[in-house]
Structure 1
Amino acid sequence: MTRGFEIVSSYANEGLHLPYRTTKRAAGYDFESAVDFNVPSIWKLDFLKVIWAIRHESNVDNETSKKAKKILKPFLIPTGIKAYMGDDEVLILANRSSNPLKRSLVIPNGIGVIDADYYNNDSNEGEIFMQVLNFGLTDAKVAKGDRIGQGLFMHYLTADDEQKPQQERQGGFGSSGK
């Protein structure tokens, strides 16, 4: 098997669906939420007060800075899915076009990158999470089974003169660097 999806062991009996393409020419595999999930609106979390403080105060104090980081910290929606692929492949996670319109959800860094060595890692078995922020005026309710993103398998290239990394992945989400 070259590439594909599996359900992580902690969701084995939860009736999850493997990611799927909805139409014959769809490039992306739709990922569903593994759980019911509430994504709070950033506006509900004093976002305007933090923006006002940053705009009007010459020195932003530590408390305001911490509050801003907390408000803009993405939420991770579990999918219960892991992906296997070739060593020269990557799974790119992208937003669904309907997410900003229907739920006001966006992926804060534009895309997610799932490396081949994330599969079956020790810390979380390689479970894929969709990272989102809710810019809507109200909380976004995501039900188990709702499509929350899409994944595209792609080959990638490396530079001719690169010094090959020697380090092996030691953990899960965000573990390959600072």
Structure 2
Amino acid sequence: MKRKAAPKPAERRESYHHGDLRRVLLDAAHAEIAAHGAQSLSLSSLARQAGVAQSAPYRHFADREELLAAVATEGFEAFTRAILQAAEAGDEAGALKRMAAAYLRFGEENVELYRLMFASRLVPGSGPDSPLQAAAWASFQPLLERVAAAEPQRSNTAANVRWAQLHGLVMLKADGFLDAPAEDLLAVTAI
């Protein structure tokens, strides 16, 4: 049997094996979303960026929606860490204001990720036991706990109103309707 000659260097197909392709795809998706928003993201473009076959991402994500849900889940986890760090950065009396500032800062620094997390149908469309639902709920808990301590009779309603105020400020700034610094906005917001 005759052996086939090795391909010449120019004929070799470039391939790359990732030790953790799931992580590489998530990192690439985060970067793509930050630069261009989630609407233009595709698994095939991420595969090209990662230097893998177009079918490779499907070993880790069933479809684009599952990838976006994973990105949003990580976004909620990072958001929760940011507001918890802010809450713990001083006395309890100022925790709610610091959390509100961290909320606005996260939204300003991660506009497109924030849109994916809070202005898409991903969370409402996810299952009640999904990692995305758990991460989204966990991000609301610190606010709810602080508000419940101050207003136990109306904690859910009061927390939702504060959340709506913060969300509105983030979205109005993101869409160019407000240009005031976050500190100025918080100074006149009933948080």
Could you say which TM-score interval applies, normalised by the shorter chain?
under 0.3
Whichever of the two has the greater Rg, that structure is 2
TM-score, structure 2 normalization: 0.26
Task: Answer 1 or 2: which has greater helix percent.
Answer: 2
Greater length-normalized contact order (CA 8 Å, ≥ 6 residues apart) = 1
TM value normalised by structure 1 = 0.27
